[in-house]
A and B are shown apart, each in its own frame.
Chain A
Amino acid sequence: MKLIAAMSGGVDSAVAAARAVDAGHEVVGVHLALSSNPQKYRSGARGCCTIEDSHDARRAADVIGIPFYIWDMAEEFHDGVVENFLSEYASGRTPNPCLRCNEKIKFAAVLDRAKGLGFDGVITGHYAQMRESAEGRLMYRAEDPGKDQSYVLAVLNSEQLAGAHFPLGDTHKEDVRIEAKKRGLYVANKPDSHDICFVPSGDNAGWLRDRLGSEVGAIVDEAGNKLGEHKGAYTYTIGQRRGLGLTVPAEGGVPRYVLKIEPKTNTVVVGEHESLAVSKIFGEKPIWCGPVPVSNTALRGFAQVRAHGSPLACSYSHDGLEIKVELDEPLFGLATGQGLVIYDGDRVVGSATVAQTE
């Protein structure tokens, strides 16, 4: 096959590209320039948008012996990921930009362009496994539970999955590093990237304040009594306990948590831990990573609501527009806007965006 290898400059995508070459594919390396004003150097282990990263990706492609190009996806990234990130926060939700990037950029803009140019698909260094079945290609959790990235890939539909290749799904991260070293890829010991790549400082709250303003608002209890003030409701996360800056102490010193963010009134509601309990999740805009489950029927499975969260036993059903999940055991603290991913054992069934919880 003719494949585009999306190369971030990190160790995973470099080894993934090298493995695809070994498998006999015709591979072309591409580094995605996602920022119109890239920083020169990585600061710590953050981000994947620096000039240094693009040099690392080029060097890896040279060592592997494949052609290498830089594709400017800054506009697409800004419109599809950064703008969405801001507007979601502005409406009181907590988005996951990595999901959006996979959905809109890596397996949409890049895959479409690759296909237009005559390529068959896109290789990335993501940790997830694919298996062919009578119902088409299905996606499963990675062999390495610590690195499993099936959660952030659950936004890929069948067509996107058909063009996606994850050569690292069957390998543990430490073995990928060993392999990189053996292959002479000097990124072997490069630290993993964390946080949000377009917030290079790592200061998410500060980044949001710079763009959405820092209008002072009230922090209230569930009865509406004012307990303190905040500088921008969107800098809080559901379930957050620390750094609330409350001036009125709680009765009996019971810890208080962020329960709700109300962007219209710029209010943050806090309360006791029990009030965070969620036993029903409603997810909108479902995407199925394979066959569509039978509708309007309660099915057994697992729900995962965070990238590194645990799978939660549940019953779920859908009507084509919404996925409804009933958890066997309540979970504490879930923000709207997060990704809801349904698993059948290790297989990714599909995903939706959390719209409401009860």
Chain B
Amino acid sequence: MTIYLDHAATAPINDAAIAALTEQVKKLGNASSVHNQGRSVRKDVEDARHLLSELVGCNPSEVIFTGSGTEANNLAIKGFYWKAIAADPKRKVIVTSAFEHHAILDPVEWLVEHEGAEQILIPITKAGTIDLDFLKDLIAKRGPEIAVISVMHSNNELGSLQPIDEVVKFAGSIPVHTDAVQSFGKVNFNFAELKLTAATISAHKVGGPLGIAALILERGLDLTPILHGGGQEREIRSGTLNAPAIVSFAAAAKSAIENRETNFKKVRELRDYFISKLQTAVPDVVINSVSDPALPGIVNATFPGTESDALLLLLDSEGISASAGSACSAGVPRPSHVLLALGISESDADASLRISIGTTNTKEEIDQVIAVFPSVVERARAAFAVSKLA
């Protein structure tokens, strides 16, 4: 038995994306070359860019392809910071939510350590959303010092959608970036409607291949590049265009968005079914994730008196794949900063799992998972009890 419940980490590649990828990969040509083959590949890339821009709600020229969501986030955070301080050295404050992905938090921390930036984290309310009053006050008091505001469109561990429209409204002329990696293709996301300055999207979360993502960046804005070279993407990102991945990304996104409402309903029903069954199977489970407005498939749960790495090991041995928090570079599990930001204690955060359901899951799979949960939790508790005795 293998049941994959870690769709928020990466999702299975869909058929449309495989077909596009395998076709394009056979094709010779560098999209930057002027000759016949180059032109042909360039057309494929630009067709894909055009399609993707329609799906995102932006202009084609606003799509800057990158190698990963992490790269797009770095480009945005560092780019906006450098741009701001070049214009006005006082504008060195970077505002993000406290529960951003490490691909946002870490570049900010790097700028704090090496470039004199000041980081301000927006606290998280019990409802799993950013504290808008805090942000409003902050902008009123220190608006002219803020280089960029970056708030994720939805949280990857709690599923909660964030009030990005409100953030943009309060921000006024301050650039706003959103990490929409988890949202794009799963819930309504439209760059133009939200009046964003920048957004990050990634292929492998929506059924596309690994190694391709994009920074959506308002037209006419220049950001300092991180990678210097051929200047392929608006002189902001260099590197030979990864045509097969780009074409496949667009195909995956098209499929995800065309089926978005059906998928959303299906995944959400599975999620609600899973939660209700889990609450019966493990009565003292605490659900941390948000049900609405939220991503459809995220369940975050605390199993008091356990450790998440023991739960993951035991689930894995039953063929069930889930996840927990994050790990340091040596692979040591760390309590989730998202749960800590939500005000959950370190020991409860340590005892929590994220289960992310996707379109390929079935009700039968959920039943199979629920069937093993009580014994998994029991064994994890036995192991935890021993460690506390020692």
A117 to B381, CA, bound (A): 8
Q: Is A58 in the interface zone, CB < 8 Å from B?
A: yes
Contact size range, B? 20 to 34
Contact size range, A? 20 to 34
- Using Cβ atoms and an 8 Å threshold, which residues of chain B touch A69? 309, 312-313
Q: Check A108–B313 contact: CB distance below 8 A.
A: no
Q: A69-B313, A108-B390, A112-B390 are in contact. Are A117 and B383 (CB under 8 A)?
A: yes
- Considering only residues 299-324 of chain B, those with a C-beta below 8 Å from chain A are 309-310, 312-314, 316-317
Q: Is A355 in the interface zone, CB < 8 Å from B?
A: no
Q: Check A70–B332 contact: CB distance below 8 A.
A: yes
Q: Check B330–A38 contact: CB distance below 8 A.
A: yes
Report the nearest B residue to A67, measured CB to CB: B316
Q: Is B58 in the interface zone, CB < 8 Å from A?
A: no
Q: Check A51–B330 contact: CB distance below 8 A.
A: yes
A54 partner, pick from B330, B333, B389, beta carbons under 8 A: B330
Q: Check B332–A72 contact: CB distance below 8 A.
A: yes
A113 partner, pick from B317, B332, B383, beta carbons under 8 A: B383
Q: Check B390–A117 contact: CB distance below 8 A.
A: no
A109 partner, pick from B309, B312, B333, B387, beta carbons under 8 A: B387
- Considering only residues 288-317 of chain A, those with a C-beta below 8 Å from chain B are none
Report the nearest B residue to A113, measured CB to CB: B383
- Considering only residues 14-72 of chain A, those with a C-beta below 8 Å from chain B are 28, 31, 33, 38, 51, 54, 58, 67, 69-72
Q: Check B333–A116 contact: CB distance below 8 A.
A: no
- Considering only residues 215-243 of chain A, those with a C-beta below 8 Å from chain B are none
Nearest-CB distance from A40 to chain B (Å)? 8
- Using Cβ atoms and an 8 Å threshold, which residues of chain A touch B36? none
- Using Cβ atoms and an 8 Å threshold, which residues of chain B touch A31? 331
Nearest-CB distance from A83 to chain B (Å)? 14
Provide the main secondary structure of the chain B interface. helix
- Considering only residues 370-390 of chain B, those with a C-beta below 8 Å from chain A are 379-380, 382-387, 389-390
Q: Is B327 in the interface zone, CB < 8 Å from A?
A: yes
Nearest-CB distance from A7 to chain B (Å)? 12
- Considering only residues 343-389 of chain B, those with a C-beta below 8 Å from chain A are 379-380, 382-387, 389
Q: Check B329–A51 contact: CB distance below 8 A.
A: yes
Q: Check A74–B310 contact: CB distance below 8 A.
A: no
- Considering only residues 102-118 of chain A, those with a C-beta below 8 Å from chain B are 108-109, 112-118
- Considering only residues 56-103 of chain A, those with a C-beta below 8 Å from chain B are 58, 67, 69-72, 74, 76
A112 partner, pick from B309, B330, B379, B387, beta carbons under 8 A: B387
- Using Cβ atoms and an 8 Å threshold, which residues of chain A touch B382? 116-117
Report the nearest A residue to B381, measured CB to CB: A116
Nearest-CB distance from B183 to chain A (Å)? 31
- Considering only residues 59-83 of chain B, those with a C-beta below 8 Å from chain A are none
- Using Cβ atoms and an 8 Å threshold, which residues of chain B touch A108? 390
Q: Check A72–B387 contact: CB distance below 8 A.
A: no
Nearest-CB distance from A110 to chain B (Å)? 10
Q: Check B330–A116 contact: CB distance below 8 A.
A: no
A51 to B329, CA, bound (A): 7
- Using Cβ atoms and an 8 Å threshold, which residues of chain A touch B385? 116
Q: Check A67–B384 contact: CB distance below 8 A.
A: no
Q: Check A117–B310 contact: CB distance below 8 A.
A: yes
Q: Check B330–A28 contact: CB distance below 8 A.
A: no
- Using Cβ atoms and an 8 Å threshold, which residues of chain A touch B384? 116
Nearest-CB distance from A108 to chain B (Å)? 7
Nearest-CB distance from B326 to chain A (Å)? 13
A/B interface sample: 30 pairs, CB < 8 A: A28-B317, A31-B331, A33-B330, A33-B332, A51-B329, A54-B330, A54-B331, A58-B331, A69-B309, A69-B313, A70-B327, A72-B309, A72-B332, A72-B333, A74-B332, A112-B383, A112-B386, A112-B387, A112-B390, A113-B310, A114-B383, A116-B382, A116-B384, A116-B386, A116-B387, A117-B313, A117-B314, A117-B379, A117-B380, A118-B379
Contacts A109-B387, A116-B382, A118-B379 aside, 11 further interface pairs with beta carbons under 8 A come to: A33-B330, A38-B330, A54-B331, A69-B312, A74-B332, A76-B387, A109-B390, A112-B389, A115-B383, A116-B310, A117-B379
B residues apposed to A, CB below 8 Å: 309-310, 312-314, 316-317, 327, 329-333, 379-380, 382-387, 389-390
The 4 tightest CB contacts between A and B, nearest first, are A116-B383, A70-B331, A116-B382, A112-B386
A residues apposed to B, CB below 8 Å: 28, 31, 33, 38, 51, 54, 58, 67, 69-72, 74, 76, 108-109, 112-118
